[in-house]
Structure 1
Amino acid sequence: MRILLFTGKGGVGKSTVAAGTAALSAASGRRTLVLSTDAAHSLADAYGVGEVGGELDRSHGEPVRIAPGLSVAQVDAQRRFEQSWSQIQGYLLSVLDAVGVDPIAAEELTVIPGAEEVFALLELRRQAASGAWDAIVVDCAPTGETLRLLALPEALGWYMQRVLPMERRLVRALKPVLTRAAGVPMPTDSVFDAVLGLHQELTEVRDLLSGPDASVRLVLTPEQVVLAEARRSWTTLSLYGYRVDGVVANRVFPEAGPDAWRAGWVAAQQRILGEVAESFDPLPVWRSIYRDAEPVGVESLRSLAAQVYGDLDPLAPPSSTSPFSLTRRDRAALLRLALPGVERWFAKDEVALARHGDDVVITAGSYRRLLTLPEGLSRWQVSGARVEAGELQVRFTAPESSAGGGEDR
């Protein structure tokens, strides 16, 4: 099953491109689901099926068919919240009640910021596991929110592995004393189990989205500020181990006529499109021509996508390999992580590498990834690191007391 995520700076038309790609996929005979993780759901409007909006609301998150082979799903955040967060929220409400917080304010304080996007990812996992689809197209939130969302499973995993077991043991040992002394209820095993369950679901989402059949496609408009954000997004998505398989340049003006104002815009766009091709090489860059009317409706969006991709299959499996690899041979190991454009688009002080115990901490701009080393490498020493041709390479050497090993498989 193919999974394709679309993201880009707000307002560049990513929902239109995602909806068109899904329509083209369905027209080719694939059972296609288009799912939005953007809190501002607009797919029903894009497809011109406004009456489906009410049906989506009543479907409790189940897909609604809008055309042959094409279905839309709108996440029922309340339902997913009750399934994945209610146990944790119940405990938090009891704590806030014990310290005198107003019940209405407590209800607001115990809702996860960005909960709807998180639960949309959990819904993606459920739909992928159903076996009902050949392709799932995801209309993601704007870039910043998407990057934070895709970083969440791994960040939560670090907490689950390192902090939660210690907290659980501590609570068990001190629960009677703390409850009497502070008057605040301590979390039960069911609360910890709920957190672990949520983490397991998010881990499965990460495995799904970083797998060989999933990729991210960036949508941009030919503007300098938008291009700058898209460049850094490619680097950051690679930092977290997600494949980027191409770029769609949207709202490109057709060749200019005698109008000088329009000719100026066309010339400016062409200059930036040249930078786009150079910046994202070797990724394909598709162009979507600015039409004389807004594309609304399944057929109009399918036609737009057909013009964008031409004879190419828009959902062909990604040809790029995983951005992350770790190989080991004898007493040396090499960690490789693709960071395209990191030398050009990030200042030197924005990129850092550190070792903390079993973790390698990689920073690019405001984003940071903690890579927990396999147990076999946890005592190995970092013997060198460099960034070369858009790739971070970290070399490890076995300590003198370690026995030699074979090659990792």
Structure 2
Amino acid sequence: MSLILTFLGKGGTGRTTIAIAAAKKLAAQGKRVLLAGQDGSPAFGFMVGAALSADPQQISPNLDVVQLQSTVLLERAWEELKAQEAKYLRSPFLKGVFGQELGILPGMDTALALNALREYDGSDRYDVIVYDGDGDQTTLRMLGMPEIASWYARRFRTVFTDSDFYRAVSPFIQPVAAAVLNVNWSGDLFSQPAAQEATGLLEQGKAAVANPQRVMAYVVTTEDEPAIATAKYLWGSAQQINLTVGGVIVNQAHEASAVSAEFAPLPISTVPRYSGQDWQPIIDALPNFAQPEPAPRPMAVNVAEKKVALFLPWFDKKEVKLTQYGPEVTVEVGDQRHNIPLPPELKGKQVTGAKFQDGYLIISF
């Protein structure tokens, strides 16, 4: 398994420059590194200094680079989908549709990128995967996709199995499955191998995002006020998906003192402007990603006191909306809505109170 490292910040703050420098720094430390770029234009290859393709290629010792190309990823994912269909259906009907003729719908880019990162992570070829994505809410929604998809699957499974429709058709599921599928399905439809495999992947994704040893983000900003405001917003939004932000990188900085107060208690690193030739000054100024400084965790659970504390820096309490529908507790902050992954001891319990204190939303059950 790999550490997936990504960078958040306003466009134009130099996220790609920082991502490339971070990959070079980690490779120089002896880590096996994959730099994965979401930008499909020639600009990414120009900055890396190599002609890139949809497959990883080595550009220096310990450092591979891949340019994630959605059309190629879709073709490969479609072939895997057809293989899975053939595994469970006696007469597959997707075999006449070819991945090469499929177009990219809005939102598919990030889903395909997330699946590619999952596959590279599972290959055991890399110690670190540096992901250079959009660096905004799109990246956060991508990393939050396993939690969101898991919620949809969990809630709609409950609604479906409790419905009169499911009770009416459930006696016919086993004989129909035996007639159409090449496996003998019986019992709960959602406990079958395909459903269990999908659920397992979602749970692995959720656990990875919540573990700073597996997924970590850094906020990139300049001394420009709009860039600082965007960085603070993305820092707070990252907490919503349980993603740890390890620190702030101030690019093209003159001094860190003015920015430090805006991001306390995160560690601050200042890096000089990239000259277009020498990477070493930036590499030397970057934090030690292999051994990051302690950072506030997005969520802390105290089962004994029946409390959950969510760290939501730089959001005002008026921007925080807490709701509970049935067993689900949902927090809405800014443009991000998040269902809190409660431990078994607190699941299904009613919220008895909530308060916003020192950047933390403290929920009592």
Say yes or no: TM over 0.5: yes
Change (3 A) 1:116 1:356: same
Give distance in 2, aligned partners of 1:36 and 1:318: 26
Q: Is the 8 A contact 1:34 1:136 kept in 2?
A: yes
Give distance in 2, aligned partners of 1:379 and 1:363: 19
Structure 1 residue matching 2:351: 3-state secondary structure: strand
Matching of residue 224 in structure 1 with residue 225 in structure 2: yes
Matching of residue 78 in structure 1 with residue 74 in structure 2: yes
Give distance in 2, aligned partners of 1:242 and 1:24: 23
Q: Is the 8 A contact 1:234 1:244 kept in 2?
A: yes
The equivalent residue for 1:313 is 288
Give distance in 2, aligned partners of 1:86 and 1:302: 47
Could you tell me which amino acid in structure 2 is paired with residue 334 of structure 1?
Answer: K
Give distance in 1, aligned partners of 2:210 and 2:28: 27
Q: 2:313 aligns with which of 340, 346, 360?
A: 340
- Which 5+ residue runs of structure 1 have no aligned equivalent? 95-105, 176-188, 255-269, 397-409
The equivalent residue for 2:234 is 233
Q: Where is the helix percentage greater, Structure 1 or Structure 2?
A: 1
The equivalent residue for 1:181 is none
TM-score, scaled to structure 1: 0.71
Q: Is the 8 A contact 1:121 1:205 kept in 2?
A: no
Q: 1:150 aligns with which of 143, 153, 167?
A: 143
Give distance in 2, aligned partners of 1:390 and 1:137: 29
Give distance in 1, aligned partners of 2:236 and 2:130: 22
1:189-242 residue CA offsets vs partner (Å, 9 max, x unmatched): 999987875564344233223213131011112211111111011111012111
The equivalent residue for 2:116 is 123
Q: Is the 8 A contact 1:215 1:318 kept in 2?
A: no
1:171-206 residue CA offsets vs partner (Å, 9 max, x unmatched): 79569xxxxxxxxxxxxx999987875564344233
Structure 2 residue matching 1:382: 3-state secondary structure: coil
The equivalent residue for 1:180 is none
Q: Report the alpha carbon displacement of residue 302 of structure 1 after superposing the two structures with TM.
A: 4.2
Could you tell me which amino acid in structure 1 is paired with residue 299 of structure 2?
Answer: F
Could you tell me which amino acid in structure 2 is paired with residue 78 of structure 1?
Answer: L
Could you tell me which amino acid in structure 2 is paired with residue 366 of structure 1?
Answer: D
Q: Is the 8 A contact 1:362 1:368 kept in 2?
A: yes
Give distance in 2, aligned partners of 1:86 and 1:113: 22
Matching of residue 201 in structure 1 with residue 187 in structure 2: no
Structure 2 residue matching 1:336: 3-state secondary structure: strand
Could you tell me which amino acid in structure 2 is paired with residue 294 of structure 1?
Answer: G
Give distance in 2, aligned partners of 1:117 and 1:40: 16
**Which one has the largest radius of gyration?**
1
Could you tell me which amino acid in structure 1 is paired with residue 279 of structure 2?
Answer: L
Give distance in 1, aligned partners of 2:226 and 2:156: 40
Could you tell me which amino acid in structure 1 is paired with residue 23 of structure 2?
Answer: A
Q: Report the alpha carbon displacement of residue 64 of structure 1 after superposing the two structures with TM.
A: 0.9
Could you tell me which amino acid in structure 1 is paired with residue 314 of structure 2?
Answer: G
Give distance in 1, aligned partners of 2:311 and 2:348: 24
Change (3 A) 1:85 1:226: farther
Matching of residue 276 in structure 1 with residue 272 in structure 2: no
The equivalent residue for 2:35 is 34
Count of paired positions: 334
Give distance in 2, aligned partners of 1:12 and 1:228: 12
Give distance in 2, aligned partners of 1:164 and 1:148: 22
Structure 1 residue matching 2:265: 3-state secondary structure: coil
Q: Is the 8 A contact 1:238 1:338 kept in 2?
A: yes
Give distance in 2, aligned partners of 1:216 and 1:77: 24
Give distance in 2, aligned partners of 1:39 and 1:359: 39
Matching of residue 363 in structure 1 with residue 346 in structure 2: no
Q: Is the 8 A contact 1:125 1:204 kept in 2?
A: no
Give distance in 2, aligned partners of 1:173 and 1:159: 23
Q: 1:290 aligns with which of 260, 270, 273?
A: 273
Change (3 A) 1:195 1:207: same
Q: Is the 8 A contact 2:266 2:295 kept in 1?
A: no
TM-score, scaled to structure 2: 0.78
Change (3 A) 1:391 1:125: same
Could you tell me which amino acid in structure 1 is paired with residue 308 of structure 2?
Answer: L
Change (3 A) 1:201 1:375: closer
Q: Report the alpha carbon displacement of residue 336 of structure 1 after superposing the two structures with TM.
A: 1.3
Change (3 A) 1:320 1:372: closer
Matching of residue 18 in structure 1 with residue 26 in structure 2: no
Change (3 A) 1:166 1:355: closer
Q: Report the alpha carbon displacement of residue 40 of structure 1 after superposing the two structures with TM.
A: 4.8
